[in-house]
Amino acid sequence: MGSLYALSLLAGTGTRWWFNALAQEKTQRALVDGWMMGSSSDVMLVGHIEESDYALLLGSNPSMSQRGVAPNLMLRAFQKSEERTLVVVDPRRTETARRADRHLAVKVGTDAYLLLGIAAIIVAERLYDESFVSNHTRGFEAISARLRDIVPEEMAARCGIEAETLREVARDFSAAERAGIEMDLGLEQSRFNTLTAYLSRLIMALTDNLGREGGSVFVGLFLPRMPIWPPPQPAPVSGIRGIALMAPVPMYSPNLFAEEVLSDNPGRIRAVIVEGSNPMLQYAETARTRAAFEALELSVVIEPTATETTWVADYVLPTPVGYEKWEHSNFPKPYPLLGLQLRPPVVAAPEGPLPEPEIYHRIALAMGLVTPAPKPLHRLAGRAKRPLGVLLYLAALLPLALLKARSFQRLAAMAIFWLYETLGPTLRAPQLAAVWLMCQGVAWTRRADVARALPETGRKWNRAAVGNQLFEAAMAHPEGVVLARVDPERCLEENLGHRDGKIRLAPAQMLTEIGRALADEVTADPEFPFILNGGMRTHSTANAIFRDPKWRKGSGPHCVLRLNTEDAALLGITKGDLVRVRSRVGVVELPARPEVHVQRGHIHIPNGFGTRYPDPESGELKTAGVCINELTDAQDRDPFTGCPHHKFVRCSVERAAQS
């Protein structure tokens, strides 16, 4: 709910630095979609495998992570159908792999070679859709020439699977009426994650599965269509550009944060506001993040509870928890529907904590970024619920804000906070002004989508009145309501942004990246012979946000190192033994749990640990489990996006001294 106000504050100060958790995992999708399709920042191409006849699922374990809409129903549907096939690609025999028709247990970090092999086979055996490629794409000659140099047998060997298996998958995928590929964190935080995003889209395009139900579809949020602002700029130290994803504002990977603080650059980051985040646990290479916070001139954390980051901050501004305030939810995203859920507070907030928008409003006023709104705007806001009144209010807001701001840099801050100050008091809560504005934007920029869900709106000339109608519908349905619907028949066409309406199959960056991948085969490191998958999902950690260890279900310990039983035997490690895991940047100790489902040389540590919480008897702060980012290297990341390689961390393992 506070994001629009936070971004407006950033715009008013002129800073471009927006670090976001999405930029730790999914910005490669937006980057590649822009290169290939020229699609806008408010959508993301995803595999629509819920409707696929043949689905390839890479780096994902929805049985545990609950990714998507009703994932267990989706998996059950595949199991019940003899006509549909689910192929899971994962080094470990996961809960999802056990339910799949086929499990490709590839070696860790070799997914790019698997996809390269599939693409090469499709081209060599002419399994691609010649009509679609001819009529809807450009660059086929360039990419096909590159792929003809690739030997599928070599790619299969790199992956640790049979060459015939690779050929069967490529042929079956190409032959399916509706075939989909979906990738998740296992690829997005592994080696060559931008390349794997590209290759998945290339395969989908070659087989005419782009923009098709059961293939891959462009999924968005209930947001207006807007150009990216400001234009993406490179980070001074790394040169990695900001990338806009699901919002028109470029964001940067948190992996870049520490180096941009610790730099000697005169424009280095000197102050930070942290909201809804815990960098001391979330950001790679904890020691370097700690050094960055020590070097900051000012650090402010907006949080409802004490965290590892509040303890190193200069100021902590308390905010109510999610059930004590209005909140805006946008998960899940059931294609082709666009819905909105406004969750009202269900319990009263204590006195003192302020909602995030109020905090940002007060900061903006105190900094002089905005001034109190003019009185005429207050009067117009009181009439904004009327059809003509809303037009008059919007017509006055921007000109008055621009006149007072005197620069486009401060315009966003002035307009948004004046909206909050004038319209907000007329609503059930001031922070809802941002959602009202969002509804107005959707009404003006997505008229056809709204009319598919609400046909009566298509006949209304006053789009501002339609915006009010959307907002009122959301307010009347706290359980969530569908307010727009995209056209599945035009999914690809409406999201092709290139002037000629054609897909670019051979972005120059990816032709070069293919060469880098082929020259960088995974080899063993005698000093660090194991590869850590950092962030394994479990029943007690998947997408869970809590600090009290008592909430974790089942018998402990919950934070354990999972490793192969044979590797454990060679190291003299048995279940429950304390083991020491060391990487190039840090070391942790935790109990071991040998498992047959883990591939040799591969180890796993779950996410969500390393938190400190008061002991129920002594009140002393005690750490639950270990923080994976004590082991991760902020420099070990994708060169295009800065996404970390958390799923490919080279480590050593040894039995520690037992207590």
pLDDT at residue 331 above 90? Answer: no
Least confident of 54-68, 176-190, 471-485: 54-68
Whether 467 is in a domain gets the answer yes
CATH of the domain at 616: 2.40.40.20
**pLDDT band for position 303 (cuts 50, 70, 90):** very high
Using CA atoms, how far apart are residues 241 and 639, in angstroms rounded to an integer? 10
Domain check: are 253 and 392 in the same one? yes
Domain check: are 133 and 232 in the same one? no
pLDDT at residue 330 above 80? Answer: no
Please compute the mean of the pLDDT values over residues 397-417 and round it to a whole number: 92
**pLDDT band for position 543 (cuts 50, 70, 90):** low
Domain check: are 534 and 413 in the same one? no
Using CA atoms, how far apart are residues 184 and 58, in angstroms rounded to an integer? 7
**pLDDT band for position 317 (cuts 50, 70, 90):** very high
Tell me: the pLDDT tens digits for 560-609?
999 999 999 999 999 999 999 999 999 999 999 999 999 999 999 998 89
Domain check: are 539 and 457 in the same one? no
Q: What pLDDT was estimated at residue 545? A: 66
B/e letters for 521-550, b = 16+ CB within 10 Å, e = fewer, are: ebeeeeebebbbbbbbbbebbbeeeeeebe
Beta bridge partners of 85: 54
Domain check: are 105 and 165 in the same one? yes
Tell me: the pLDDT tens digits for 263-284?
999 999 999 999 999 999 999 9
pLDDT at residue 228 above 90? Answer: no
CB distance 559 to 609 below 8 Å = yes
Domain check: are 233 and 287 in the same one? yes
Q: What pLDDT was estimated at residue 337? A: 94
Q: What pLDDT was estimated at residue 255? A: 96
Please compute the mean of the pLDDT values over residues 214-243 and round it to a whole number: 92
Number of domain units in the chain: 3
Q: What pLDDT was estimated at residue 544? A: 65
Domain check: are 200 and 259 in the same one? no
pLDDT at residue 24 above 70? Answer: yes
Q: Tokens standing for 211?
A: 């923009």
Q: What is the percentage of the chain residues whose pLDDT exceeds 90?
A: 88
pLDDT at residue 231 above 90? Answer: no
Tell me: the pLDDT tens digits for 99-109?
999 999 999 99
Q: What are the backbone angles phi and psi of residue 234, rounded to the nearest 5°?
A: -75, 145
Domain check: are 232 and 352 in the same one? yes
Q: What pLDDT was estimated at residue 547? A: 82
pLDDT at residue 542 above 70? Answer: no
The dihedral formed by the CA atoms of 56, 60, 61 and 63, expressed in degrees to the nearest 10: -70
Using CA atoms, how far apart are residues 583 and 649, in angstroms rounded to an integer? 7
Tell me: the pLDDT tens digits for 427-449?
999 999 999 999 999 999 999 99
**pLDDT band for position 481 (cuts 50, 70, 90):** very high
Supply the range of the domain harboring residue 138.
Answer: 45-215+499-515
Average pLDDT over the chain reads 95
Longest dimension (CA), the chain: 78
Whether 36 is in a domain gets the answer no
Is residue 529 reached through a cis peptide bond, with omega within 30 degrees of 0 on the bond before it?
no
CB distance 619 to 165 below 8 Å = no
Domain check: are 420 and 503 in the same one? no
Beta bridge partners of 251: 243
Beta bridge partners of 579: 590, 655
Please compute the mean of the pLDDT values over residues 212-229 and round it to a whole number: 91
Beta bridge partners of 217: 46
Tell me: the pLDDT tens digits for 603-646?
999 988 999 999 989 999 999 999 999 999 999 999 999 999 99
Whether 28 is in a domain gets the answer no
Whether 106 is in a domain gets the answer yes
pTM of model > 0.75: yes
**pLDDT band for position 483 (cuts 50, 70, 90):** very high
Q: What is the percentage of the chain residues whose pLDDT exceeds 70?
A: 99
Q: In what side-by-side order are the strands of the sheet with 271-275?
A: 271-275, 298-303, 315-318
Q: What are the backbone angles phi and psi of residue 408, rounded to the nearest 5°?
A: -65, -25
Q: What pLDDT was estimated at residue 190? A: 97
Domain check: are 417 and 283 in the same one? yes
Tell me: the pLDDT tens digits for 346-360?
999 999 999 999 999
Please compute the mean of the pLDDT values over residues 313-321 and round it to a whole number: 97
Whether 220 is in a domain gets the answer no
Domain check: are 85 and 181 in the same one? yes
Domain check: are 192 and 297 in the same one? no
Whether 530 is in a domain gets the answer yes
29: Cα separation from own chain's centroid: 9
